């Protein structure tokens, strides 16, 4: 048994000194400044004005550059931007706006490829696009293009339609669609000339009797328009213009569009709008479904004890990661006065457990679950492991269900302590939650902890015995000084037992290596390159990307290959921040967000501080965890679980 150790006051940053001419160990202490960026909030539709609408959008071109016989396509006269890529960016944004507004939206393509398979000819390719609108029984078909002309001064929005059906009858809806689109797109998009709708028997607009239009947003052959459209993020203006056009068309002509669809598709089923993306609705629905699965009889439980089994099942079967989250709750009381007691370290799990227990029949329920860290820890709710190695346990007793082992110098986040103060509940550096003997940890307040974390660090790469103390390989400790190639002086968390001479210790220089550099800033710089790129599920490219795709390509730029999905990425790296401690965030740290089942569903990259770059529909954007920041996101703030530093 370890005896209680009296902590000596330790100066953490003993010296800025020396760091001589050593090439291998480069000091890089101090907390880097957050990276500043000019960022705006993405466009958000108001309400759900498009419920009931089905629409197919067709990003023009794609895939032809890798086909035989390719002879170039429309490109920016100076910027060299490729038309097909630009069309894709506009479509990617427009897709989310329309869907958020309640429309059912189909896209002919989501990456750089042809729509018809193989070496198809032009007719097959264009036919494949209008066919999708037929197959999905769409109300409207909208193709997105950019123009090019021999006359370099040509500069304006052109809407292409063919207002006759296959039988030769007039199609007034198409003329109305063209007029509305032109008006709304011109409001948002650079143009010097006004063009009337262009009526032409082009297969994209004559191939189907569904009201169809092509928007040519502007002439890439015009230097002014090219300069306007090639500014990063401009495709958003084009998408908003098109979105406003569709909303007006649906609002002003819904009855005619419904009648047209009924005429074209007599067997068409009623349209079911996509579900709302409101996270509160989702949690409620998910926990109600779960309650029905756990208690199929639906008979309301009569005693508090009956809840234990259900809660155990929720934790074992549903809560996907039981290593990082602490949830210890139980029902108390009697019918008419149920209480949910216990504690958790994640606000969303408190809410989820409450909704679940209510859905099981414990109604009304007073949700008294305590959010950790516990207030009784006071200011010193951080710490550093001060003994060479220490197991963490599933319960506050020796040997109970080993979770992991902590190493000397490891930073920990405290969550709770037992009544007698002999055990602490904490998050280790690997984010595992467990109980340790309280003398394991040198407790610190936020300031002291920050000073420790931002010291120049060295990693012990070979276990060493120093003054009868094991300094385990893998331990990371503040580096005080280096004397040539021979001695590295490290700071210990405290004066432990046999170390008589003070809070520092000397090791052979060959047994330590430096930690980190400013690679985090490079990760951020790569991520910011993708700002305004539309969210495309599964995407990893400048044409469309998803949340973990963005994290993956950004780290890849500094040579670190992370797993594909957010829930896999979330297990890599040292824990550096939690919902109640954001001061540890440095540029490049990876942030993770969970849903009501504890599953990591989202990832982003810290700019240092509370801002982070991430990809969430409609686009790659910067958001903040700070309610005072104009970029604050309540949704992601509530879902934020922890941040890790996957970099060395």
> What DSSP element (H or E) covers 637?
helix 634-639
For the bound state, the minimum distance from the C-beta of residue 40 to Zn ion, rounded and expressed in Å, comes to: 28
Q: Which stretch binds Zn ion (CB under 5 A): 56-64, 311-319, 582-590, 619-627?
A: 56-64
For the bound state, the minimum distance from the C-beta of residue 228 to Zn ion, rounded and expressed in Å, comes to: 18
> What DSSP element (H or E) covers 550?
helix 547-556
Q: Report the distance separating Cα 215 and Cα 631, nearest Å.
A: 32
Q: Which stretch binds Zn ion (CB under 5 A): 137-145, 332-340, 467-475, 516-524?
A: 137-145
Q: Which stretch binds Zn ion (CB under 5 A): 91-99, 142-150, 321-329, 444-452?
A: 142-150
The nearer residue to Zn ion, 202 or 540, going by C-beta atoms, is: 202
207 interacts with Zn ion by CB under 5 A: no
Q: Which stretch binds Zn ion (CB under 5 A): 141-149, 253-261, 430-438, 450-458?
A: 141-149
The nearer residue to Zn ion, 202 or 564, going by C-beta atoms, is: 202
From candidates 97, 109, 145, 459, binder to Zn ion by CB under 5 A: 145
When CB distances to Zn ion are compared, the closest residue is 145
Q: Which stretch binds Zn ion (CB under 5 A): 35-43, 59-67, 109-117, 313-321?
A: 59-67
Query: x-or-dash pattern for Zn ion, window 92-131, by CB under 5 A?
Result: ----------------------------------------
Q: What DSSP designation does 372 have? A: S
For the bound state, the minimum distance from the C-beta of residue 150 to Zn ion, rounded and expressed in Å, comes to: 16
The nearer residue to Zn ion, 145 or 191, going by C-beta atoms, is: 145
From candidates 27, 45, 60, 618, binder to Zn ion by CB under 5 A: 60
Backbone phi, psi, residue 559, to 5°: 90, 10
Q: Report the distance separating Cα 259 and Cα 139, nearest Å.
A: 10
396 interacts with Zn ion by CB under 5 A: no
Q: Which stretch binds Zn ion (CB under 5 A): 138-146, 329-337, 491-499, 602-610?
A: 138-146
The nearer residue to Zn ion, 77 or 476, going by C-beta atoms, is: 77
User: Is-contact 556 530, C-beta < 8 A?
Assistant: no
The nearer residue to Zn ion, 60 or 549, going by C-beta atoms, is: 60
The nearer residue to Zn ion, 197 or 414, going by C-beta atoms, is: 197
How, if at all, do strands 212-219 and 140-147 pair? parallel
Q: Which stretch binds Zn ion (CB under 5 A): 21-29, 55-63, 262-270, 635-643?
A: 55-63
The nearer residue to Zn ion, 197 or 425, going by C-beta atoms, is: 197
Q: What DSSP designation does 490 have? A: E
User: Is-contact 640 591, C-beta < 8 A?
Assistant: yes
* Among candidate residues 65, 78, 228, 57, the one with its CA nearest the CA of residue 156: 228
| CB count in 10 Å sphere of residue 375 | 9
**Count of residues engaged in binding Zn ion, rule: CB under 5 A:** 2
For the bound state, the minimum distance from the C-beta of residue 382 to Zn ion, rounded and expressed in Å, comes to: 58
CA angle in degrees (0–180, nearest 5) for 88-94-95: 90
DSSP code per residue over 199-251:
E---HHHHS-SS-EEEEEEEETTSHHHHHHHTSTTTHHHHHHHHHHHHHHHHH
User: Is-contact 428 406, C-beta < 8 A?
Assistant: yes
Q: Report the distance separating Cα 51 and Cα 46, nearest Å.
A: 12
For the bound state, the minimum distance from the C-beta of residue 648 to Zn ion, rounded and expressed in Å, comes to: 47
The nearer residue to Zn ion, 238 or 464, going by C-beta atoms, is: 238
* Among candidate residues 384, 375, 504, 392, the one with its CA nearest the CA of residue 437: 392
**Distance set, CA 474 to CA 210, 324, 495 (Å):** 66, 21, 20
236 interacts with Zn ion by CB under 5 A: no
3-state helix, strand, coil in the chain (%, to 5): 30, 25, 45
The nearer residue to Zn ion, 190 or 427, going by C-beta atoms, is: 190
User: Is-contact 195 157, C-beta < 8 A?
Assistant: yes
Q: Report the distance separating Cα 416 and Cα 425, nearest Å.
A: 5
Q: Length of the chain in residues, anyone?
A: 648
For residue 513, is the peptide bond before it cis, meaning its omega torsion is within 30 degrees of 0?
no
Query: x-or-dash pattern for Zn ion, window 8-47, by CB under 5 A?
Result: ----------------------------------------
62 interacts with Zn ion by CB under 5 A: no
For the bound state, the minimum distance from the C-beta of residue 144 to Zn ion, rounded and expressed in Å, comes to: 9
Which residue(s) pair with 621 in the sheet? 614
The nearer residue to Zn ion, 74 or 356, going by C-beta atoms, is: 74
Q: Report the distance separating Cα 205 and Cα 141, nearest Å.
A: 8
For the bound state, the minimum distance from the C-beta of residue 73 to Zn ion, rounded and expressed in Å, comes to: 7
The nearer residue to Zn ion, 145 or 645, going by C-beta atoms, is: 145
Q: Report the distance separating Cα 499 and Cα 579, nearest Å.
A: 36
For the bound state, the minimum distance from the C-beta of residue 75 to Zn ion, rounded and expressed in Å, comes to: 11
The nearer residue to Zn ion, 76 or 301, going by C-beta atoms, is: 76
Considering only CA atoms, give the Rg of the chain.
30
Q: Which stretch binds Zn ion (CB under 5 A): 30-38, 143-151, 161-169, 540-548?
A: 143-151
The nearer residue to Zn ion, 212 or 616, going by C-beta atoms, is: 212
**Distance set, CA 76 to CA 58, 144, 229, 235, 618 (Å):** 21, 16, 9, 14, 25
The contact set with Zn ion (CB under 5 A) reads 60, 145
């Amino acid at each position: 048994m370890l005896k209680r150790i009296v902590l000596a006051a330790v100066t953490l940053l003993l010296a800025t000194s020396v760091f001589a001419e050593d090439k291998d160990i480069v000091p890089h202490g101090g907390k880097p400044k957050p990276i500043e960026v000019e960022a705006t909030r993405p466009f958000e539709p108001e309400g759900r004005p498009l419920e009931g609408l089905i629409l197919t959008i067709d990003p023009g071109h794609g895939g032809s550059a890798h086909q035989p016989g390719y002879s170039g396509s429309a490109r920016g006269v100076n910027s060299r931007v490729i038309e097909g890529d630009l069309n894709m960016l506009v479509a990617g944004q427009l897709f989310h706006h329309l869907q958020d507004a309640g429309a059912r939206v189909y896209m002919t393509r989501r990456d750089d490829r042809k729509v018809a398979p193989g070496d198809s000819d032009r007719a097959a390719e264009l036919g494949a696009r209008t066919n999708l609108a037929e197959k999905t029984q769409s109300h409207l078909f909208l193709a997105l293009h950019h123009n090019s002309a021999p006359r370099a001064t040509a500069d304006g929005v052109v809407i292409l339609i063919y207002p006759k059906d296959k039988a030769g009858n007039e199609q007034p809806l198409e003329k109305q669609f063209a007029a509305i689109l032109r008006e709304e797109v011109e409001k948002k998009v650079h143009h010097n000339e006004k063009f009337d709708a262009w009526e032409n028997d082009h297969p994209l607009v004559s191939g189907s009797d569904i009201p169809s239009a092509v928007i040519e947003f502007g002439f890439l052959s015009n230097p002014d328009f090219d300069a306007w459209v090639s500014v990063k993020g401009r495709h958003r203006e084009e998408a908003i213009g098109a979105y406003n056009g569709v909303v007006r068309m649906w609002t002003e002509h819904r009855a005619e569009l419904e009648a047209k669809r009924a005429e074209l598709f007599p067997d068409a089923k009623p349209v079911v709008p996509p579900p709302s993306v409101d996270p509160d609705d989702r949690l409620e629905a998910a926990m109600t479904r779960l309650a029905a699965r756990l208690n199929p009889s639906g008979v309301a439980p009569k005693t508090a004890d009956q809840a234990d089994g259900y809660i155990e099942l929720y934790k074992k079967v549903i809560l996907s990661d039981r290593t990082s989250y602490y949830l210890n709750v139980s029902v108390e009381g009697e019918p008419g006065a149920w209480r949910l007691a216990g504690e958790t370290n994640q606000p969303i799990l408190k809410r989820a457990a409450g909704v679940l227990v209510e859905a099981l029949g414990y109604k009304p329920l007073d949700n008294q679950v305590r959010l950790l860290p516990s207030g009784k820890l006071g200011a010193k709710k951080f710490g550093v492991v001060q003994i060479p190695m220490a197991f963490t346990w599933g319960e506050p007793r020796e040997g109970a269900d080993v979770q992991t082992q902590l190493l000397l110098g490891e930073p920990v986040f405290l969550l709770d302590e037992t009544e007698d103060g002999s055990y602490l509940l904490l998050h280790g550096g690997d984010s595992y939650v467990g109980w340790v003997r309280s003398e394991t940890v040198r407790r610190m307040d936020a300031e002291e902890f920050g000073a420790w974390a931002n010291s120049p660090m060295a990693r012990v790469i070979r276990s060493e015995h120093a003054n009868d103390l094991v300094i385990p390989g893998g331990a990371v400790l503040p580096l005080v000084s280096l004397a040539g190639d021979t001695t590295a002086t490290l700071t210990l968390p405290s004066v432990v037992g046999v170390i008589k001479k003070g809070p520092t210790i000397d090791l052979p220089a060959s047994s330590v290596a430096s930690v980190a550099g400013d690679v985090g800033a490079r990760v951020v710089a790569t991520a910011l390159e993708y700002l305004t790129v539309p969210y495309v599920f599964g995407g990893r490219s400048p044409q469309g990307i998803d949340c973990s795709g963005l994290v993956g390509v950004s780290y890849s730029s500094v040579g670190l290959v992370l797993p594909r999905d957010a829930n896999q990425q979330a297990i890599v790296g040292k824990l550096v921040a939690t919902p109640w401690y954001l001061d540890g965030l440095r540029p490049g740290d990876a942030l993770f967000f969970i849903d009501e089942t504890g599953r990591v569903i989202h990832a982003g990259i810290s700019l240092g501080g509370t801002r982070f770059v991430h990809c969430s529909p409609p686009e790659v954007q910067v958001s903040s965890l700070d309610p005072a920041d104009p970029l604050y996101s309540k949704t992601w703030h509530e879902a934020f679980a922890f941040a890790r530093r996957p970099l060395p």
